[in-house]
Amino acid sequence: MNKLNFKGSVMLNPTPVVLVTSKNKSNKLNVFTVGWVSTVCTKKPIIAMGIRPERLSYEYIKESGECVINLPTKSMVKIVDYCGVVSGRKEDKIKHFNLELHKGISISTPSLQNSPVALECKVKSITPLGTHDLFLLEVLNVKIDENLIDSNNKICFDKANLICYSHGEYYGLNSKPIGSFGYSIKKKNKKKRSHHK
């Protein structure tokens, strides 16, 4: 297979796409879309997020030291797109979509009621990188829709209808897995041979 070479660029696709709620010290709320977000540590649970300094949410998150990462569903894709292109300086996006909020538990910033999973975070550090600054966020609490928890107390993300972002387009995730962690080295069950006399 022939390969073409591009200069160093951000080609990591697909990525999660999330709606981030934040508020400033005057209790003004905002929601905006982030496509550059990733888990970087388990203990403590840390998420990395890239934000442009000119964004209103950058100002709010830096001021309050907290935010909520809300995982959107397929039915929320128009909200996701709108909140990524319309600035909170020009419009109250929460009012525009009449988004219902859910009170914060570990932080004072609310989450989006319609989001099946919401991660309440506090800022650990902010590092300037260039066009974006790197926010390291510690996850203090996670709210999960009870409909996603099965009888074994397992979180069924396949039922959440989550979406991802890939090079300018949104995609729904297929609910059928093509493998599970460790399946490549798992030993196959040997079928018992039946003995005929």
Per residue in 36-50, pLDDT (tens digit) is 999 999 999 999 999
Cis link prior to 44 (omega < 30° from 0)?
Answer: yes
pLDDT of residue 1: 87
Q: Tell me how many domains the chain contains.
A: 1
Q: Is 6 among the domain residues?
A: no
Looking at the domain assignment, is residue 186 inside a domain? no
For 119, the token pair is 């991660």
Q: In the structure, what pLDDT confidence band is assigned to residue 122 with cuts at 50, 70 and 90?
A: very high
Task: Let me know if residue 183 belongs to a domain.
Answer: no
The answer to whether residue 48 sits within a structural domain is yes
- 137 has a pLDDT exceeding 60: yes
Q: Would residue 194 count as lying in a domain?
A: no
Q: Which amino acid is at 30?
A: N
Establish if 105 belongs to a structural domain.
Answer: yes
CB 102 within 8 A of CB 143: yes
User: Could you tell me if residue 112 is left (phi over 0), alpha (psi between -120 and 50 degrees) or otherwise beta?
Assistant: beta
pLDDT tens string 161-180 = 999 999 999 999 887 888 88
Asked if pLDDT for residue 193 goes beyond 60, the answer is no
Give the CATH number, domain containing residue 65.
2.30.110.10
Contacts 24+ apart (CB under 8 A), 9-17: 10/36, 13/165, 13/166, 13/167, 14/164, 14/165, 14/166, 14/171, 15/164, 15/165, 15/166, 16/71, 16/164, 16/165, 17/72, 17/80, 17/163, 17/164, 17/165, 17/170
What are the two backbone dihedrals, phi and then psi, of residue 185, each rounded to the nearest 5 degrees?
Answer: -115, 0
Domain that holds residue 150: 15-172
Residue 162 within a domain = yes
Give the model confidence (pLDDT) of 81-119 as tens digits: 999 999 999 999 999 999 999 999 999 999 999 999 999
* pLDDT reading at 75 higher than 80: yes
In a domain, 184, yes or no: no
